[in-house]
């Protein structure tokens, strides 16, 4: 079911965040999530960040939970047999913030990143938190898979497609991504992609700059009012 941006809530995180070691087995993690539910928490993120050899093998888990205090979360998990070494951390949202994702050819990705990082620097100085995350890729299949996977990335707010020729399944994937509420800026390039994005920008540095302006609360740039334009 396609969804417009207007139905997607993006509230500020107030999650309690901890990192802990746990015995690396399915029931151990199920015990953690059951305990979180018991104390009234809603899990926002649970990620295995590292695995540690040993007897038994351990997994190091980053956990973010809404609706509970950090103290309550630590107390709840400390009582579980399989949980070791609980550290308080900070929700990734509050550190790395909104993510601009840049995908495409290395030369263009680097120039988009230059514009986006420079612009993010200016907004982050004023209290924003904007990250610029990139991957250089070649080939319709790999790029289309990356476009689809942006929908699965926590905190991804906008995709920039940086290349010289894109179309086919990449254009199909672009429409799927926009349908879940993530807008796309593309460089002006060969192929059908420029008909399947929100904005087309010829200069990669400006494309990166506009991408950051579009997601920054500290900027007065409204992508919705630019939709379909080319610069």
Q: Which of residues 111-130 bind a copy of itself (CB under 8 A)?
A: 113-114, 117-118, 120-122, 124-125, 129-130
Token pair 């309690």 in the structure block, residue: 16
Site string for a copy of itself, 179-218 (x = CB under 8 A): -xx-------------------------------------
Q: First and final CA of the chain: distance in angstroms? A: 31
Strand 130-136 versus strand 98-104 pairing type: parallel
Closest approach, Cβ 62 to a copy of itself, in A, equals 4
According to CB under 8 A, which residues from 4 to 43 bind a copy of itself?
Answer: 7-11, 17, 19, 24-27, 29-30, 33-34, 36-37, 40-43
Nearest residue (CB) to a copy of itself, 181 versus 191: 181
| Stretch near a copy of itself under the rule CB under 8 A, chosen from 133-141, 193-201, 213-221, 222-230 | 133-141
Closest approach, Cβ 157 to a copy of itself, in A, equals 11
Site string for a copy of itself, 44-83 (x = CB under 8 A): xxxxxxxxxxx--x-xx-x----x----------------
Cα separation, 91 vs 64, whole angstroms: 6
DSSP type of residue 12: P
Helices (H), 42-88: 70-78
Rounded to the nearest 10 degrees, how much is the dihedral formed by the CA atoms of 195, 198, 200, 206? -170
Chain centroid to Cα 49, Å, comes to 16
């Amino acid at each position: 079911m396609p969804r417009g941006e207007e139905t997607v809530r993006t509230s500020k995180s107030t999650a309690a965040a901890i990192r802990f070691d746990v015995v690396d087995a399915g029931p151990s993690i199920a015990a953690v999530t059951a305990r979180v539910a018991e104390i009234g928490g809603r899990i926002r993120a649970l990620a295995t960040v590292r695995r540690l050899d040993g007897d038994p093998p351990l997994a190091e888990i980053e956990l973010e939970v809404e609706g509970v205090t950090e103290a309550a979360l630590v107390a709840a998990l400390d009582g579980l047999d399989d949980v070791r070494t609980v550290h308080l951390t900070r929700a990734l949202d509050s550190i790395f913030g909104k993510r601009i994702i840049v995908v495409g050819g290395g030369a263009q990705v680097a120039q988009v990143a230059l514009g986006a990082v420079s612009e993010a620097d200016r907004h982050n100085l004023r209290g924003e938190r904007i990250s610029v995350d990139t991957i250089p890729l070649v080939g319709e299949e790999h790029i289309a898979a990356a476009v689809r996977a942006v929908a699965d990335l926590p905190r991804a707010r906008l995709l920039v497609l940086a290349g010289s020729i894109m179309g086919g399944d990449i254009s199909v994937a672009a429409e799927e991504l926009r349908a879940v509420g993530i807008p796309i800026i593309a460089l002006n390039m060969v192929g059908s992609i420029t008909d399947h994005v929100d904005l087309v920008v010829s200069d990669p540095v400006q494309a990166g700059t506009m991408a950051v302006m579009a997601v920054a609360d500290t900027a007065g740039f409204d992508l919705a009012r630019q939709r379909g334009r080319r610069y």
